[in-house]
Structure 1
């Protein structure tokens, strides 16, 4: 079950997970944390298992879309469905018509495996290709089958 973790965003385990989603330097992590602290439309949820923060997902709601800004799972728990589970739970709870994420080449397959359509955005940063991933939800039954 996802829990709102904005209230304890300054805990080290939250910063560590955020560091997996941005350039891992103190400035980038601080910028991401500040976004969640200072922007009411930015939401940050975590997934805990036996009081251990396993993963987090940061997003904003924009009209009929859910825009994922950050998603991370601690390394020892990757590849077993926590990331997919967080996205599917958000789809069920938020009921958007589409879910959008921008990512790098390393994470494209993760989104494809869930059913996202992936489109290259080219090199938005020198030497780094970025991708737009979109999942269109036709009706509530698609969420259960994703």
Structure 2
């Protein structure tokens, strides 16, 4: 079941998943927790399976109707079961944006490519690392 979990952001299980999304960076985790604790415009949803949160997606929708995925993580024991794809599709359904976008590393880019996003690589100015912008333009004619 897909459900809003902003109010649960301080729970250890939710923070464990957020840690995967921020690559175990304590400062980034603290920033993420503050974003979701504050709520609007940042939304945090989880996919609950058998009483436990299998994965999370955090996002905001901009004034230009772009859903910016800020965090996406699936518990390692639940990976390769379609939860990541389900989280992205459910966020799309929930928010109804015109476009979806994420910035990620190479592994994340492969995931987004596999579910139909267009990928563009770029050099992160702050870190010097290669990053990937993943974009999905919503086609109203193909929505279910």
Show the 5 A alignment for 1:120-139: 120-139=121-140
Give, in whole Å, the separation in 2 of the partners of 1:25 and 1:109. 22
Equivalent pairs counted in the alignment come to 143
Larger CA deviation: 89-98 vs 50-59: 89-98
What secondary structure is seen at the aligned counterpart in 2 of 1:28? helix
2:112 — aligned with what?
111
**TM-score, normalising length: structure 1:** 0.91
Partner of 2:13: 13
Mapped contact 2:57–2:69 kept (Cα < 8 A): yes
Q: Mind listing any 5+ residue stretches in structure 1 that lack a counterpart?
A: none
1:26 pairs with 2:26? yes
Q: Kindly state the Cα deviation for residue 89 of structure 1 after the two structures are TM-superposed.
A: 1.1
Contact 1:88 1:143 in 2 (8 A): no
CA contact (8 A) 1:57 1:68 kept: yes
**Counterpart of 2:89?**
88
- Over the aligned positions, Cα root-mean-square deviation in angstroms equals 1.5
Of Structure 1 and Structure 2, the greater strand share is in: 1
The residue that corresponds to 1:43 in the other structure is 43
Provide runs of 4+ in structure 1 moved above 3 Å. Answer: 123-127
Gaps of 5+ in 2: none
Distance 1:85 1:78 in 2: 12
Q: CA deviation at 1:23?
A: 3.6
